[in-house]
Chain A
């Protein structure tokens, strides 16, 4: 399969790949590819396949582990701005209601993020395993959360710094670009479903 271009915000970084056959990091698979009976049994429930190399799986599992550490540890000077981005205020001009929201929802939000990270880590360790739509949504949320934290660490705070990040080729910026590419394809795959 040859994918000529993507409609990604960072598409230009991947133009060099146009000339060879190129496999997207995730794609929806026909049910018959997975199990000849499944489309009959379950009426076209979408499945998704991750086309990662072993190193990519290991990298993402490692990043998921770091995300879990961040979510479950006490905030400090370094992590406070990252956690603020993951748990933004719900009420901008009402401290009392905001405190109540954080009190009631924060724990649930942490639990929801940790559950997604855990399930995605397990999925990634099973090579060749296809994902259901809910699992793919969890994958998308987790990749996005990692990218958000990384972007915050890279001081991407406005359109200008976002454009600068696009052309910066430091390892961290490359990782940020890579996660954007994975995310873009995940949205594309899920949008087909």
Chain B
């Protein structure tokens, strides 16, 4: 039985990459002139379970500011949200949280 520990060479993690991977993603809906405001609000309520008030506020942000963050999560979760928004024809994308 060894009584001393061999020195172990530790791999230095690439800090930037690690941090980038851990950073949460945000799901963004962009303004578009075709989707009806009532439709956008309804989809946000249906997909994310938001209250009427919250979904309406997000829809108005999309309309007036050009975009709004509607959800967040890890990459897999964010991709699923984007997929479901695309299924409903909303102009959605995802990016790292700033």
Residues of A within 8 A of B (CB): 7-9, 85-93, 101, 105, 108-109, 112-113, 137, 140-141, 144-145, 147-148, 151-152, 156-159, 161-162, 180, 183-184, 187-188, 190-191
Contact = CB atoms under 8 A, between A and B. Distances in A.
Contacts of B94: 90-91
Contacts of B37: 9
Q: Which of A88, A137, A161, A180 has the most CB of B within 10 A?
A: A88
A92 to B, nearest CB: 5
Interface stretch (B1-9, B11-19, B78-86): B78-86
Nearest to A157: B33
A141 B93 contact: no
B89 A141 contact: yes
Nearest to A160: B33
B33 A159 contact: yes
15 contacts: A9-B37, A86-B89, A88-B92, A90-B86, A90-B93, A91-B93, A92-B93, A105-B79, A105-B83, A109-B83, A141-B87, A145-B89, A151-B34, A162-B33, A183-B39
B95 interface: yes
B10 interface: no
A148 B89 contact: yes
Nearest to A88: B91
A63 B3 CA distance: 79
A86 B82 CA distance: 13
B50 interface: no
A148 B82 contact: no
Nearest to A109: B86
A88 B86 CA distance: 7
A113 B84 CA distance: 11
A148 B87 contact: no
A140 B89 CA distance: 11
A85 B90 CA distance: 9
Contacts of A151: 33-34
A186 B55 CA distance: 18
Given A183-B36, A187-B42, A108 B89 contact: no
Contacts of B54: none
A113 B87 contact: yes
Nearest to B45: A191
Nearest to B30: A88
Contacts of A137: 46
A129 B82 CA distance: 33
